Amino acid sequence: MRPSLRSLLVLCACAVTAAGCAASDDPVANQAIFDKGVAAYDAKDYAQAFALFSSIDNSDLAAMRNVALMLRRGEGTAKDPKAAEEMYARAAKGGLATAAADLGEMLLYGEAGAPDAKAALPWLEGAAGAGHPIAQYELGTMFEAGDGVPKDVAQARKLYQAAADGGYDKAKDKLAHLPPGPPETPETPKSPSP
């Protein structure tokens, strides 16, 4: 099960604020606008939420990511997967792992065109490296299937385990159904050369 949008929105806001990435003349005002956007979204007033997030998307990475999410879903605005990809890319280039994960997922599944595992790879790798469990899972599926990367079930297992450790239940299910890997053997110390 995917984390709720509310938890992702709050996580984005916290991550951006904690990292000091919200570049604005008035970060306090931006945070207030962002919070109003979250409240509007929670109240299902998507048009208002979209307008609020859009008003600060040039200075707040989390707002930028939320605009992309709403464009992707057609919430409060017309559905526009291509524009969503572009907005996710801007936020991801700014360092927002959730945006990189979302963009990688869109590219992997072809939401705005043909599926493109090779284009998805760097975005998913970046987000997975930042500890994003869904990106770790999606990257794991790529390694398990050899989709855009050489097939490597051991690497897939590591990624699924990381995603499971991050609380992503789908990864736990995947681990339970993977065939067992070779047993790990401890390294034996090498003898010194004569």
CATH number at residue 110: 1.25.40.10
Q: What is the mean pLDDT of each run of 10 residues along the chain (194 residues)?
A: 43 40 72 98 98 96 97 98 98 97 98 97 98 98 97 97 97 90 52 50
129 located within any domain: yes
pLDDT attached to residue 179: 80
Statement to judge: residues 17 and 72 lie in one domain = yes
Question: Does residue 142 contact residue 124 with C-beta atoms inside 8 Å?
Answer: yes
Alpha helices, H only, 44-152: 46-55, 61-73, 81-93, 97-109, 117-129, 133-145
* pTM higher than 0.85: no
75 located within any domain: yes
Statement to judge: residues 11 and 43 lie in one domain = yes
> How many Å apart are CA 173 and CA 185, to the nearest integer?
26
pLDDT attached to residue 75: 98
What's the token pair of residue 4? Answer: 């709720």
116 located within any domain: yes
Statement to judge: residues 65 and 122 lie in one domain = no
Statement to judge: residues 110 and 163 lie in one domain = yes
Residue 144 domain boundaries? 103-178
pLDDT attached to residue 28: 95
57 closest CA partner among 40, 43, 71, 74: 71
123 located within any domain: yes
pLDDT attached to residue 78: 98
Residue 115 makes CB contacts below 8 A (sequence gap 6+) with 107, 108, 109
Number of domains the chain is built from: 2
Statement to judge: residues 109 and 74 lie in one domain = no
* Cα of 102 vs its chain's centroid, Å: 4
87 located within any domain: no
> How many Å apart are CA 184 and CA 174, to the nearest integer?
20
pLDDT attached to residue 25: 76
Statement to judge: residues 162 and 111 lie in one domain = yes
Statement to judge: residues 107 and 172 lie in one domain = yes
> How many Å apart are CA 192 and CA 183, to the nearest integer?
27
